[in-house]
A and B are shown apart, each in its own frame.
Chain A
Amino acid sequence: MQSKTLGWLLLAPTLIILFFFGVVPFLYVLWVSFHQWNPFAADPGMSFNWATNYRQVVFDAQFMASLGVTAAFVFFAVVSELIVGYLLAQAFMKDFPGKAIFRTIHTLPLIMAPIIVGSIWKLMTTPSIGIIPHLLHNWFGYDLNIGQSAAAAFIVTIIMDVWHWTPLVTLTLIAALVSLPPDPFEQAQIDGANKRQIFWHITLPMIRPAILATVFIRLMDALRTVDEVLMLTGGGPGSATRYVGVHIYKEVFPRTNYGYGSAISVIVLYLTIVACWLLYVSLIAPRTSKKG
């Protein structure tokens, strides 16, 4: 009993901070989402309008389009990061010359602010001054112009995200791989299992919680990507890279439509929670037994 009270006391500062910086802002956004509110309009007051903002959202073609491109962006970015991150983690499990330096350099993108990453990639992909269009033109005769080609802009945003966040996946998976006990692997080798069988039947099931945690983190981050993409493409060309985060930004800040922007934010939060929950249910939630 005493240890339980002590536990709550030790948790209290975190819970209080989480309440004021997590729960209260969420409730405020939820409250604003049920209002018509443009503080810079002739009438700056908030007027309660029931669910009008939500009615507006489901008919907003631009929002629906942004959800579609966001889903594609999140899928390709997270899957690529998992595959590349796992391969790098496996590489870092082995010894090779310059491993320490390579691991440090590989982790550097993680410490960079997203706006800086966006700026760097903007410089690297700008035609006539960027290194990437220059090399692509010289090597393959391809003229990269993310200001004109929607597909190129979309792919470059994915590559940028993979470049920025793969180190996080690598570090998480290294931690998971290092903590694996050697016995099952030795037994599998004695039983004659090949590398593919060991991967599918031992490694993958054992690191599944780490993979799932990484996917959750990356999924949530990718769904709220704003600054990198805003810096690199501004959401364009057209609306090719207008991901939901960018859409919310453009709705809330230039147009100062706070009520409507809040409603979109709440729906994006809802979709994020549902996506994570579906992943949890499909991969690790314990199943009920069906008797008889």
Chain B
Amino acid sequence: MSDKTTSVDPLLHFDEDSPAAAPDRPGFLPIETNWFDRIFISVVIWVALSLFWFRFIEPLGPSIWISNAIALALAVLIVRKG
């Protein structure tokens, strides 16, 4: 299942036996992730993209919903393939 390459401090990975914390498979992200990590990354990207859109793109016309759609597509990609 998991493909670990480095040993890390056990104190930082005390909850590895929980389903959410177990890395499931290598994806395109450079770090080991579980589904919760990938949802977190997706939310971080969604907020960053929204703020960027508000500041630079929306004044030119395109609606924030386009940004949301892009963020949703990215989220699906990251959660499934990340």
A residues with CB within 8 A of B: 51, 54-55, 58-59, 208-209, 267, 270, 273-274, 277, 281, 284-290
**Contact of B44 with A286 in the complex, beta carbons under 8 Å:** no
Distance in angstroms from B71 CB to nearest chain A CB is 13
CA distance A281 to B12 in the complex (A): 13
Query: Which single residue of chain B is at the shortest CB-CB distance from A273?
Result: B44
Residues on A with beta carbons closer than 8 Å to the beta carbon of B55: 58-59
**Contact residues of A: prevailing secondary structure:** helix
CA distance A281 to B29 in the complex (A): 11
- Given A55-B54, A58-B55, A59-B55, do A289 and B31 touch, yes or no (CB 8 Å)? no
CA distance A277 to B36 in the complex (A): 14
B47 within 8 A of A: yes
**Contact of A58 with B51 in the complex, beta carbons under 8 Å:** yes
Distance in angstroms from B3 CB to nearest chain A CB is 6
CA distance A274 to B4 in the complex (A): 25
**Contact of B5 with A286 in the complex, beta carbons under 8 Å:** yes
The A-contacting residues of B in range 13-33, CB under 8 angstroms, are: 23, 26-27, 29-32
CA distance A289 to B4 in the complex (A): 7
CA distance A209 to B58 in the complex (A): 42
B50 within 8 A of A: yes
Residues on B with beta carbons closer than 8 Å to the beta carbon of A277: 40, 44
Contact mask B47-82 → A, CB, 8 Å, 1/0?
110110011001000001000000000000000000
**Contact of B32 with A209 in the complex, beta carbons under 8 Å:** no
**Contact of B32 with A54 in the complex, beta carbons under 8 Å:** no
